[in-house]
Amino acid sequence: MYTLECKFWCFSLTIIIKYTKIKLEDDNMLVNSNRLFDTALKEGYAVPAYNVNSLEWARFILEACNEDKSPTILAITPSSVSYFGGYKIVVSVIKMMIEELGIKIPVVLHLDHAKDFMSCKKAIDAGFTSVMIDASEMSFEDNVELTRQVVNYAKKHDVSVEAELGSLSSDGNYSSYVYSDLEQSYDFVSRTGVDSFAPAIGNVHGFYKGDEKIDFELLGAICKMVKIPLVLHGASGLDDNKLKTAIFCGVTKVNINTDLMYAWSCKVRRFLEENKNAYDPRKIILSGEKEIKKVIHAKNMIIGSKNRI
């Protein structure tokens, strides 16, 4: 019942959204994620968010999504920002890469799982177009307060904000899992003004250990109640049909990282085993390119983002 009501709400909302085909004003444009979510919601698919773990990975993701004509979100954690050398470096590199590679799809540059206000502020000031403030480990009231602080700052710069409620497992199991509460979810979204919401509905970070325990009834109920785009963290390893069901229930953004890391690392290990004298880091890193792109092409097809531009 909840999923059908959620679908009806999504349909009702889309008829009041002015139809505009996504297009880039220039080849070097980074867009706000709200722009992508409106179209995805209307057309019944999800926008992929792929984690960028290196310069090479950014190219792999951009090229694969551009080939698929799929909008994409480049998600970068604070630790990866440090790996790159700083927020301004990330923005400059991504913009130049979009221009040099001739990327024609809309791209969101998203800060993933920031734990404090200053990380979000630095990202926004540097030119990120979306941020996630993850205060889910705090008390509910502290989560609300910190999220609202980020939202207030982000709105002044036309940057979209995602936040999370509940406690997702980081090791693939449910031993300490805390599902999002329905009433709290509504209260949280209402009080913070976030643009998208990542609930804990049985999804986990990393690969799932045993059967996935996705609560689609809860997901549908949250969709119906909060009436904003929902985000699915921990999509790696999730059954394809469950991914599609989650999108039907209101998920508009799907986060994918572990699948890419696993595919790349397996191929690199095989390359090193077969080329024991290899020492050129470029050849080692690039040996996993085809495997990453293969995963991206498959995911774009499953979540319906292919050929949307």
Q: From first to last of its 309 residues, what are the pLDDT tens digits of the chain?
A: 445 555 444 444 443 333 334 444 444 479 999 989 999 999 999 999 999 999 999 999 999 999 999 999 999 999 999 999 999 999 999 999 999 999 999 999 999 999 999 999 999 999 999 999 999 999 999 999 999 999 999 999 999 999 999 876 555 555 567 888 999 999 999 999 999 999 999 888 777 676 778 899 999 999 999 999 999 998 787 889 999 999 999 999 999 999 999 999 999 999 999 999 999 999 999 999 999 999 999 999 999 999 999
pLDDT of residue 6: 53
Q: Which domains does the chain have, with CATH numbers?
A: 2-303 (3.20.20.70)
Give residue 171's pLDDT: 57
Q: Tell me the pTM.
A: 0.89
Catalytic residue, from 112, 134, 195, 259: name it. Answer: 112
- Give the integer Cα–Cα distance in Å for 29 and 31: 6
51 strand-pairing partners: 75
Catalytic residue status for 112: yes
Q: How far is CA 242 from CA 8, 24, 183, 214, 232, in A?
A: 19, 32, 24, 8, 11
pLDDT at 291: 97
The predicted structure's pLDDT at residue 295: 97
CA 276 to mean position of chain CA atoms:
36
pLDDT in the model for residue 27: 40
Do 221 and 177 touch, CB atoms closer than 8 A? no
Task: Please tell me the predicted confidence (pLDDT) of residue 170.
Answer: 58
What are the φ and ψ backbone dihedral angles of 211, each rounded to 5 degrees?
A: -70, 140
Contact between 111 and 78 under an 8 Å Cβ cutoff? The reply is: yes
pLDDT of residue 18: 37
